[in-house]
């Protein structure tokens, strides 16, 4: 069976969305391993509750990326679980060359904006402060830049006059919880084709 590995640092809402789709038999994949860089992460608690293998591999040296040794350990664990696709679900580390080369074309991420607009942290706040009328979420393949990889799917969220960062983020997450499982499904079914930066969905 097509096997995914999920990397998560935070609350794990996208992890839970993927797991729920699998449980409802709407996503025919297996979650082989959940990895986190944060001890006590709610993502690890979700994995434990769902009977999914999990492990915390902390990074002591750097704040925003993994040291070569730690990155090597992540790759080792993912390979030991025969992972076909690596899904970043709120993993707050920039992946470097060795990791990306080890899973070339097999790493996906979800970002809370309509990329290429508002890459980086707190994208919903960026959108709100900029004054855009619409924002949303994007799934994309991961490359060496931050939130720069080829775009797979996007969903649009209107920015309301009364929105706060919290209310806007919540509505974006509701879209994420549909778009990410769908992205994983399309990839697992071999329905994604890439030509340069363009991603095509095969019907």
Q: How far apart are CA 13 and CA 150, in angstroms?
A: 23
What are the start-end ranges of the H helices in 86-122?
97-102
Residue 195: CA atoms inside 13 Å, Cβ hemisphere, count? 3
Q: Which of 81, 111, 140, 177 is catalytic?
A: 111
Q: Given CA atoms 53, 75, 2, 105 in this order, what sign does their dihedral have?
A: positive
Nearest to 41, CA basis, from 60, 56, 51: 56
Rg (CA), the chain: 16
Sheet with 54-56, edge to edge strand ranges: 54-56, 30-36, 3-7, 85-88, 107-111, 134-141, 151-158
Q: How far apart are CA 28 and CA 21, in angstroms?
A: 9
177 annotated active-site: no
CA angle 151, 78, 88 (to 5 degrees): 30
Q: Given CA atoms 14, 20, 24, 29 in this order, what sign does their dihedral have?
A: positive
The residues assigned a catalytic role are 111
């Amino acid at each position: 069976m097509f096997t995914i590995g999920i990397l998560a640092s935070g609350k794990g809402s996208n992890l839970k969305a993927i797991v729920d789709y699998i449980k409802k038999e709407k996503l025919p994949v297996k979650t082989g391993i959940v990895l986190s860089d944060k001890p006590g992460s709610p993502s690890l608690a979700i994995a434990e509750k769902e009977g999914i293998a999990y492990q915390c591999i902390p990074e002591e040296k750097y704040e925003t990326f993994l040291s070569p040794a730690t990155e090597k350990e992540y790759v080792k664990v993912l390979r030991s679980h025969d992972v076909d696709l690596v899904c970043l679900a709120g993993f707050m580390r920039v992946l470097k060359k060795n990791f990306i080369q080890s899973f070339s074309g097999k790493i996906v991420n979800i970002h809370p904006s309509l990329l290429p607009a508002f890459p980086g942290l707190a994208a919903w706040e960026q959108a709100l402060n900029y004054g855009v009328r619409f924002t949303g979420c994007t799934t994309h393949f991961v490359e060496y830049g931050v939130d720069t990889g080829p775009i797979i799917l996007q969903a649009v969220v209107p920015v309301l006059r009364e929105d706060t960062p919290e209310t806007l983020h919540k509505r974006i997450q509701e879209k994420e919880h549909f778009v990410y499982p769908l992205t994983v499904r399309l990839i697992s079914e071999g329905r994604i084709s890439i030509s340069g930066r363009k991603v095509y969905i095969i019907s």
